[in-house]
Structure 1
Amino acid sequence: MKLVRYGQPGREKPGIIDADGRIRDLSKVVKDIDGEALSPKGLAKIKKQKVDKLPLVKGDPRLGSCVVQPRNFIAIGLNYSDHAAESGMPIPAEPIIFNKAPSSICGPNDDTMVPKGSTKLDWEIELGIVIGQRARYLSKKDALSVVAGYCAANDVSERAFQIERGGQWTKGKGCETFGPIGPWMVTADEVGNPQKLDMWLDVNGERKQTGNTSTMIFSCAHIVWYCSQFFVLEPGDVIVTGTPPGVGLGIKPTPQFLKPKDVVTLGITGLGEQRQKVVKFKA
């Protein structure tokens, strides 16, 4: 199943994509694409519906984030060896975990807003994992059993904030509009093996990133297991899993960063595509 949220910011409704690629309204089935809907019970309830009998959503509505704002928006750093190399950093012995502010989450096609004081705005295509069950101290063999589904994500980053301002990475990762996820969440049963997905990202129509989740240092199963050893994962939580090479910071000899009017497009096999226009800060 492909689950979506559509409508104006703050007023999104839950939906599902039908066999013809159209949005069907799920408002009478679930209140939102939230932790309750993403639980095994919630997904089973949705799966019982006759999708072609649900109300058809007319027009071309804005898409919100594919899940409602989670409690935890977790990110994994340097999870592709060639990206670590282009960043001038060693391959990590264990997953690098940091947080993106849940308030950074936005729709897949919403504008990316340049934050105040930004000088090095960058892009990162990533696979997102959506948690469907409360999980703590998982075993490795059971790790993927708590995953509701997967989505495309752009881990938008401000490198000066991240690298040059001291402290942890969070300040360069959690700005407003730095977390577009979607266009939809595809349930785990439909995705199958999450380590066989092609991914790409373009800036102004020029290919910058090409990769495949098979080249992750730490697999999705390892990441979910590892995170559960340190904190409780809740239904609806999102984990973005790292990016392949080709980020602006790594371009030689001169790094390339985003500026207003640039357009970023990206996609992952089976998980849809995103499009963001970069705009100046709006008060």
Structure 2
Amino acid sequence: MKKARVAYGGAIHYAIECGAHMKLEDGRVVRQDEVTWLTPIIPRTSFALGLNYADHATELAFDAPSEPLIFLKGPNTFVGHNGYTCRPSDVSYMHYECELAVVIGKKAKNIKKVDAYQYVKGYSIANDYAIRDYLENYYRPNLRVKNRDACTPLGPWLVDAMEIKDPMNLQIYTYVNDKLVQKGSTKDMIFDIPSLIEYLSSFMTLNENDVILTGTPKGSVDTKVGDVVVTEIEGIGRLTNTIIADEVFIKR
């Protein structure tokens, strides 16, 4: 089942996919273009992986990490499907990062890899934009790169874990203005989902609606104001986002 969280008729609703429409929790069926899409869950602690695909690390002239390179993201960073992300006027290189988002389903600590999938609620798509101009030192990606307002579209759907037979073998695509610019597969992650859950839960408690953004494969291309970016993951959906300028973003 594909689930969403949307604003419609002056209220926030949970909804499920119903063909080209969606069914709100109160039973009404509405067109998908009639709603304002929100993130499918309200993220709690959000973890993001840096350099979790060897080809992407090589693309950026970094060595692949020997243990997970993880940083935290604030709730301000997320925006829903069909949302807007700002490209600051002083930057020269801002690119998308299509990532499989893993949503934790229940509280747990010290999870073993063999049991890890029992703690996954479902999967979504994230586009974790990066501004290379703002990288400063070894502690990458730093706050200014990855914690800007609305820099990470998430959605449109949360797909139940049981419906994704093999999350470690999903095709990943990114399109800019309808042109295919990135293609990869989750099978190429350096640290797979069970390993990440085991690693994180070994030193901290994971809770329902914690989110793990699992990294992106190679294919980074600079994006400009006005670009429409679509990130797609097999079996989960297509997440659309538009890049806007500073002055437009501030007025919204």
Q: Do they fold alike, i.e. is TM over 0.5?
A: yes
Shift of 1:142: 1.0
* Structure with higher strand content: 2
Secondary structure class of the residue paired with 2:36: coil
Secondary structure class of the residue paired with 2:92: coil
Secondary structure class of the residue paired with 2:181: strand
Gaps of 5+ in 1: 29-53, 249-256
TM-score by length of 2: 0.91
Please name the residue that 2:155 is paired with.
182
User: Over residues 56-92 of structure 1, what are the superposed CA-to-partner deviations in whole Å (9 max), with x where a residue is unaligned?
Assistant: 1246212111112x22111011111111111111111
Secondary structure class of the residue paired with 2:155: coil
Please name the residue that 2:5 is paired with.
5
Counterpart selection for 2:166 from 178, 184, 193: 193
Please name the residue that 1:50 is paired with.
none
**Which amino acid is 2:224 matched to?**
K
> Does residue 111 of the first structure (1) align with residue 110 of the second (2)?
no
Please name the residue that 2:227 is paired with.
262
Gaps of 5+ in 2: none
Counterpart selection for 2:36 from 58, 62, 65: 62
**Which amino acid is 1:139 matched to?**
K
Please name the residue that 1:87 is paired with.
60
TM-score by length of 1: 0.81
Please name the residue that 2:69 is paired with.
96
Secondary structure class of the residue paired with 2:118: helix
- Cα distance in 2 for residues equivalent to 1:57 and 1:139: 42
Secondary structure class of the residue paired with 1:111: strand
The aligned length equals: 245
Pick closer, same or farther for the CA change 1:217–1:203 going to 2, 3 Å.
same
Shift of 1:196: 1.3
2:4–2:40: 8 Å Cα contact kept in structure 1? yes
Please name the residue that 1:252 is paired with.
none
**Which amino acid is 2:136 matched to?**
E
Please name the residue that 2:136 is paired with.
164
Q: How does 1:128-167 map to 2 (within 5 A)?
A: 128-161=101-134, 163-164=135-136, 167=139
**Which amino acid is 2:23 matched to?**
R
Please name the residue that 1:33 is paired with.
none
Q: Percent identity?
A: 34
Q: How does 1:190-229 map to 2 (within 5 A)?
A: 190-229=163-202
**Which amino acid is 2:185 matched to?**
N
User: Over residues 167-199 of structure 1, what are the superposed CA-to-partner deviations in whole Å (9 max), with x where a residue is unaligned?
Assistant: 542320111111111110001001121011111
Shift of 1:228: 1.0
Counterpart selection for 1:275 from 233, 236, 240: 240
RMSD: 1.8
